[in-house]
Amino acid sequence: MIEGTSRIIGHLHANQVLVEKYKTPEQGLNDARQRQLDELKQRDRYVREHEASHIGSPGVLQYGAPSYNYQIGPDGRPYAIGGSVTLGTRPSKDPEDVRANAAALRKAALANSDPSSQDLAAASAATDMEMQADRQLANRSAAAYRSMEFEMNRPQYPPAPTYNFFA
């Protein structure tokens, strides 16, 4: 079996190959650069998991792939140090749907156990959206109540005949 630190440099007969072993860039790093590389790998893993947690939330639509900000490590490879994903919901004018959409967006923004400042801002905007939908629902309910109250207290035209019986 040929490992990642070797390469084939020639073929012998049958199934035999001539292999050259070489140092990977990681093997040639000093302690400080190795620590930096380990930190970049850990940050890359964290960033990718963080963005994936937002994508996995039910009720939201993902617009495009996550985008990442990269830093080149001491080994010459790029590592994600930040990222973002654009999420949304289906447009709706119905306050009940808007309320459900806002709750889904807030849940997606706070899906990670360690939300970033952008996540908290998105959750706050979703909460504002939900409160606005609640106000619209309350106004709708109040208007329906006023309409019902008016119908119940509306005078009957023509007025019902009244009979007075006096003895």
DSSP for 15-75 reads T-EEEEE---GGGG--HHHHHHHHHHHHHHHHHHHHHHHHHT-TT-EE-S--EEEEEE-TT
**For residue range 108-164, what is the model confidence (pLDDT) as tens digits?**
999 888 899 999 999 999 999 999 988 988 888 777 777 776 666 666 666 666 677
Percentage of the residues of the chain whose pLDDT score is greater than 70? 73
Please report, for the chain, the start and end positions of each structural domain, with discontinuous segments joined by +: 27-148
DSSP for 88-100 reads E------HHHHHH
